[in-house]
């Protein structure tokens, strides 16, 4: 009889409102949400106090990272990449250095990391260069993967690719240039833009990117022979910029040809130019 009464009580209790466990779970979830919102509010208040108390120009990059602290954790927990990011940088113009976009872009990143050097000093003291020469009717010239092809101060020169910039950076390091001892240089050629943005830009690391001037199509340019006798064809329109941001539809780049200002292009066009130039990319980081 007792068991029957207990079963009757249980049935009556369920009809009246059911178990308290689901209600407890709802309450716990609500408490977690409130706690997370409080963490966000505390972090934003903390950053606001820091910015008001300090110099926002000096701490801009650090502040930007700390403001996104909670968001970064949430993305990491979810396994998703950040949907957008932008690194605030000071641009440099390549005026007076018509074919030195690679060097100016590298110096832009070095300056962003606190290394005080000018494009002229970088070129004059550290950039390996090679000249063109003629034997009869045959033109010979340098391999732009080994040295800069020509003179960055001359309009008719060509350019270079990541390995040459890394050589220049290593030359700076070897000379014990102030601030270079903790720098790391990585040739990321062949890496997809999606990986570059999610792995580096989202973590406040700008990327030197080889694309084209104005994102116009490249084309076959100067043809000449290398010292080993092989024929080389330069891809005309080559240009180096600093990739510094992205969102759902757009990439943002610091362009030395645009007086160092930030420019933006649709993702599809940047991907196309990056691919046709050979997918060359480089990072300089601490």
pLDDT at 45: 56
Dihedral through CA 77, CA 83, CA 87, CA 91, nearest 10?
A: 160
Question: Residue 128 in 3-state DSSP?
Answer: coil
Domains for the chain: give ranges and CATH numbers.
2-80 (no CATH), 101-285 (3.90.70.10)
- The token duo for 57 is 């120009």
pLDDT at 30: 66
Core vs surface per residue 14-49: b (16+ CB within 10 A) or e: eeeeeeeeeeeeeeeeeeeeeeeeeeeeebeeebee
In whole angstroms, what is the distance from residue 51 CA to residue 59 CA?
8
pLDDT at 250: 98
Residue ranges of the chain whose pLDDT lies below 50: 1-22, 48-80
Between helices 21-53 and 60-67, what is the axis angle to 10°?
170
pLDDT at 38: 65
In whole angstroms, what is the distance from residue 6 CA to residue 222 CA?
94
Number of H helices and number of E strands within the chain?
9, 13
What is the DSSP pairing of strand 148-149 with strand 129-130? Answer: parallel
């Amino acid at each position: 009889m007792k068991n029957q009464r207990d079963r009757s009580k249980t049935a009556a209790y369920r009809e009246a409102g059911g178990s308290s466990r689901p209600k407890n779970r709802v309450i716990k979830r609500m408490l977690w949400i409130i706690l997370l919102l409080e963490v966000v509010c505390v972090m934003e208040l903390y950053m606001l106090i820091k910015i008001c108390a300090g110099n926002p120009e000096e701490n801009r990059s650090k502040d930007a990272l700390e403001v996104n602290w909670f968001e970064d954790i949430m993305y990491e927990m979810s396994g998703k990449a950040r949907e957008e990011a932008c690194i605030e940088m000071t641009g440099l113009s390549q005026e007076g250095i018509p074919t030195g976009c690679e060097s100016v872009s590298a110096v832009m990143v070095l300056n962003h990391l606190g290394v005080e050097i000018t494009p002229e000093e970088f070129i004059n003291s550290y950039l390996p260069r090679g000249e063109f020469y003629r034997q009869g009717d045959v033109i010979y010239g340098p391999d732009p993967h080994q040295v800069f092809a020509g003179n960055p101060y001359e309009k008719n020169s060509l350019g270079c690719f990541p390995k040459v910039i890394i050589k220049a950076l290593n030359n700076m390091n070897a000379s014990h240039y102030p601030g270079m001892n903790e720098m790391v240089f990585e040739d990321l050629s062949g890496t997809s833009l999606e990986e570059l943005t999610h792995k580096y830009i989202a973590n406040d690391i700008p990327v030197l990117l080889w694309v084209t001037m104005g994102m116009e199509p490249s084309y076959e340019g100067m043809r000449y022979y290398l010292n080993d006798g092989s024929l080389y064809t330069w891809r005309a329109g080559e240009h180096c910029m600093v990739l510094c941001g992205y969102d759902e539809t757009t990439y943002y780049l610091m362009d030395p040809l645009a007086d160092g200002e930030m420019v933006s292009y649709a993702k599809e066009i940047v991907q196309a130019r990056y691919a046709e130039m050979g997918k060359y990319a480089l990072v300089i980081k601490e």
